[in-house]
Amino acid sequence: MAAPEERDSPTEASQPVMEEEETKTFKDLGVTDVLCEACDQLGWTKPTKIQIEAIPLALQGRDIIGLAETGSGKTGAFALPILNALLETPQRLFALVLTPTRELAFQISEQFEALGSSIGVQSAVIVGGIDSMSQSLALAKKPHIIIATPGRLIDHLENTKGFNLRALKYLVMDEADRILNMDFETEVDKILKVIPRDRKTFLFSATMTKKVQKLQRAALKNPVKCAVSSKYQTVEKLQQYYIFIPSKFKSKRLGSLNKFKAKARSILLATDVASRGLDIPHVDVVVNFDIPTHSKDYIHRVGRTARAGRSGKAITFVTQYDVELFQRIEHLIGKKLPVFPTQDDEVMMLAERVAEAQRFARMELREHGERKKRSREDAGDNDDTEGAIGVRNKVAGGKMKKRKGR
């Protein structure tokens, strides 16, 4: 990531941050009344930790590095200061928000429009998979806020006549670690070259990777770092382990939630659809067959056991392809997970028995299918008798008569 100029390293907030208990409303953070009312309408009763730290500093005009997980309220942490500034100095093409995915872009757009509905804020979502012509028309109307994925934004900067970001006042890079992990580094470099250096920049990331540090040096000026401890933590009574297992030994899944709830079945095999909101007191062990791609999903999965003060176990299968994802989970929960003790020889013996049973099952299915095919063919041959042909002709004739009668 090429740095256009030498930037200062981030500093921590110079003033002690207000305790969350002391902050009752967004007004305490300096948010204007009309936006406070919008927060109330959205059901935002009080600011989250990242909002408490970031919003006052952003309203002071500081560049922000926000380290917080998805779901921590960081959209509000950058949307409210931007809308606050937009009210003070109204301008088209005021802010650009870069995101890694189209789903996140639409989600951010919905929050901007909800917060700014009473003040007439207009936003445009510029992402791949959508008709470019309709996006060009939206950009021609010069919305206040643009939420975009880097690749599609570059397409419009290079090919949409009359569109530029030379008057931009705010740049947000949301989930910067994911943006850079998806190889958007070249596109981000191009965007930084065509927007004003005299701007405010907010960089939000779940983790401070080397690429994010490089991006921070290139894009931010004298930033303040706002890091909040993740709320995604596991309870103390949950014993967590992992098992390293080659991927070729993992088998297929199915399950029945109702039978499991009724204790008619002792094992439930489920997708992530069962990882949230499922409160079954007798769940003793959670096995992560596939390691979740998003670290916070791990917290939700293992949270199905060790609930309300009870104990429980969680075991995660880790293949040779999952090591990086597993390390992210360990980083998130702040602990190294021990290996679950297993007898490899016994496990491999069982794997051989399962493989042999699968082979016999496939043979029986194939033979059963061939028998059914032969019986259908035999039945077809026996039907080609004079009597059978006569019956078919009568049936066909009856159908024809009915159609003519209509």
What are 190-219's pLDDT values in tens digits? 999 999 999 999 998 877 778 888 888 778
Q: Which of these ranges, 13-27, 253-267, 286-300, has the smallest mean pLDDT? A: 13-27
Count of other CB atoms within 10 angstroms of residue 282: 10
d(CA 170, CA 29): 20
Q: Report the distance separating Cα 110 and Cα 106, nearest Å.
A: 6
Number of neighbours of residue 128 by Cβ within 10 angstroms:
13
Q: Which residues of 137-158 are buried (b: 16+ CB within 10 A; e: fewer)?
A: ebbeebbbbbbbbbebbbbbbe
Mean pLDDT of 113-138: 91
Largest distance between two CA atoms of the chain? 100
Kindly list the strands in the beta sheet with 285-288, ordered across the sheet, starting from the edge strand earlier in the chain: 238-244, 312-318, 285-288
CB 78 within 8 A of CB 204: yes
> Inter-axis angle of helices 185-194 and 210-219, to 10 degrees?
10
The H or E element spanning position 330 is helix 323-333
Work out the average pLDDT over 363-370. 88
User: How far is C-alpha 63 from the chain's CA centre?
Assistant: 26
Question: Which 8-state DSSP code applies to residue 93?
Answer: S
More confident residue, 282 or 161: 161
pTM for this model (two decimals)? 0.57
Indicate the DSSP class of residue 339. Answer: B
What average pLDDT does range 114-124 have in this prediction? Answer: 91
42-75 residue pLDDT tens: 888 889 888 999 999 999 999 999 987 656 788 9
Concatenated DSSP letters of 174-213: TTHHHHHHTT-HHHHHHHHHHS-SSSEEEEEESS--HHHH
Of 91-95, 160-164, 181-185, 335-339, the range with the lowest mean pLDDT is 181-185
Q: Mean pLDDT, to the nearest integer, of 94-98? A: 96
Q: What is the mean pLDDT of residues 74-95?
A: 94
Ordered strands of the 95-98 beta sheet = 11-12, 224-227, 64-67, 200-205, 170-173, 95-98, 145-148, 123-126
Q: Does the pLDDT of residue 5 top 70, yes or no? A: no
CA proximity to 307, closest of 390, 237, 363:
237
Please, is 82 exposed, middle or buried when counting C-beta atoms within 10 Å of its C-beta (0-12, 13-18, 19+)? buried
